[in-house]
Amino acid sequence: MNALRNSKIGAAIVKRYYLLTCALMWLSFPTYDVWFLKAFPAFAWFAFVPLIVYVRDREPREVFRASLVTGIFGITLLYNWIGQFGSKVPGGYIVILSVLMPVLALIFTSKIWLAEMLARRFPALRWAILPALWVVVDGIQSVGHLAFPWTYWGHSQYTFTSFIQISAVTGIFGITFLVIAANTAIADLVTVLGKHGWRFREQVRSAEYVCVAVIAAIVLLSCAWGALRVHVPGDGDRDKIRVAMVQTCIDPWEEWHLNRFDYLRELKRWSMRAIEEKPDLLVWSESATLELISYNFAMNRLNPFEKEVLSLAKKSGTPLVTGEIGVLDDVVNRTMHFQNNAALIGAEGTVLQTYSKIHLVPFGEWFPYEALFPWIKQISNDFGGSNFVPGYAPVVFGAVGKKFAPLICYEGIFFRLCREYRRRGADFFVNIINLGWTDTYRGHMQGFACATFRSVENGIWFVSAGNSGLTAVVDPFGRITASIPLMEPGFLVADMDFSMNRDTMYSRVGDIVLYLSLLLIVLLLALVCVQRLRARGSA
């Protein structure tokens, strides 16, 4: 009986081999920055092969079902850390995952299902349809109030420095397109071999072999070009600045006003140690201070906490970038709105510039459709969400003879915003972060993997200053030049050589791969409509 049961279980597992994709998705994004895990992103090149092979030529309903099941389990393995946002409320973790995971799984399902349906009508373009559609859907995810361009599939390749240099031309979408195209080509080859066996001589000229060979050649050429690109040396010490970052690991769930001077002592302790190494710029994290520093400075009514912060910059003679709470006066309605801000405090102890976060986290920092769905906003508030209003435009900060782009939290994953900063003359990015609420390594590492591409795409340095991590400096080629461990208090001081900065094609022309992919999908959908109209006319 046990043998029969085991055989039935084994048969069921084999029958649902597409679920192997879930495990491969999880393996493709390493959780820890450990040397032997740096090769795991190689799984991304064939992670979807089991699912693509399974859905080929099956009934549309089965394609949808298998894709949805894979999406739910695979997406949950990748993003389960997001549930930590509700962990302080009984059942909150489950509520968040039960709402968000099906939505993301449906987005995943739409890619697989629609690509398979189109590929059946245009089999010669099967290799290009899924990657093009994937890129288009990812592009849609990056716009609007609910934008969530997190962990595009190309982001998994952040450890393969030579290969990702091609994003200086194509952006992240070029990387995603190639990796998904490889999955499609390998799946097609596996399908052919499964039907006809390994008769190499008979099939060496088949479209499947040619497609795999062409994609492999493009990847190898990209790696060769990237290897040459990263070995271009800088000009030495002629154009360097030194930046210091402080990582305090303040608990984001603790009551700020009851503990703020304890937090300030911790910030000052690590800052003074960093200042001993004579940095040109000091950076604190997002939410390092939940005070109205810039507003109260403008109103000339600084409180003791705010005076100490400005005094630190003045006494050390070091400009300071810190997170704060901004205030937007609503004169018409006689009220005040709060914003998630970054403030630049000059070496004279004055507030020089502020930037208000444009891309607020949906549900966590604001809910744009509060008037329509007030009950959703109430749930968000119960889970600890904020009530910020977004900023309107990028603000380029200037200090120590350089221009830099302030980014707050997950704005480091918004490629268009970063490209706009570069077009406005930014010499480097400063990303202040507070992901302490995730309480996991996976959330930190995923966000950092996404952000490293901004340095390659735009050819400039990237400074990441996190409350709990990841605090690091990335050079214009996506290489981590300095970092400190996640979730450990400390400070980091590193030099940036601006002679390494590069102008990039991506900064000039933007997401050309997205535009070409959109053109292909629109043309194919138009052809499908024409075919259906003709079929109705002849019926």
User: pLDDT tens digit string along 480-511?
Assistant: 999 999 999 999 999 999 999 999 999 999 99
Tokens 């791969």, located at residue: 513
Work out the pLDDT band at 414, boundaries 50, 70, 90. Answer: very high
Q: Concatenated DSSP letters for 382-443?
A: HTT---B----S---EEETTEEEEEEEGGGGG-HHHHHHHHHTT-SEEEEEE--GGG-SHHH
pLDDT at residue 1, as a whole number: 45
Work out the pLDDT band at 37, boundaries 50, 70, 90. Answer: confident
Q: Is the pLDDT of residue 389 over 50?
A: yes
- Compare 60 and 86 and report the one with higher pLDDT: 60
Work out the pLDDT band at 17, boundaries 50, 70, 90. Answer: very high
Q: Apex CA 27: angle with CA 22 and CA 29, to 5°?
A: 110
pLDDT at residue 197, as a whole number: 62
Lowest-confidence range among 106-110, 357-361, 367-371, 456-460? Answer: 367-371
Q: What percent of the chain has pLDDT over 90?
A: 66
The pTM of this model reads: 0.91
> pLDDT digits over 232-261, tens only?
776 666 789 999 999 999 887 777 888 899
Q: What percent of the chain has pLDDT over 70?
A: 90
In whole angstroms, give the CA distance from residue 302 to residue 471: 29
- Cα–chain center distance at 369: 24
Strand order in the sheet with 351-356: 351-356, 335-345, 320-330, 281-283, 240-247, 490-497
Phi, psi of 329 (to 5 degrees): -75, 125
- Compare 366 and 36 and report the one with higher pLDDT: 366
Q: Is the pLDDT of residue 42 over 90?
A: yes
Helix, strand, or coil here: 496? Answer: strand
Residue range 130-142: mean pLDDT, rounded = 97
> pLDDT digits over 287-331, tens only?
899 999 999 999 999 999 999 999 999 999 999 999 999 998 876
- Compare 32 and 203 and report the one with higher pLDDT: 32
pLDDT at residue 407, as a whole number: 98
Domains and CATH numbers, the chain: 2-231+512-538 (no CATH), 236-358+393-503 (3.60.110.10)
pLDDT at residue 196, as a whole number: 63
Residue range 79-96: mean pLDDT, rounded = 77
pLDDT at residue 35, as a whole number: 67
pLDDT at residue 332, as a whole number: 63
Q: Is the pLDDT of residue 114 over 90?
A: yes
Residue range 505-528: mean pLDDT, rounded = 97
pLDDT at residue 474, as a whole number: 97
For the chain, state the CA radius of gyration. Answer: 25
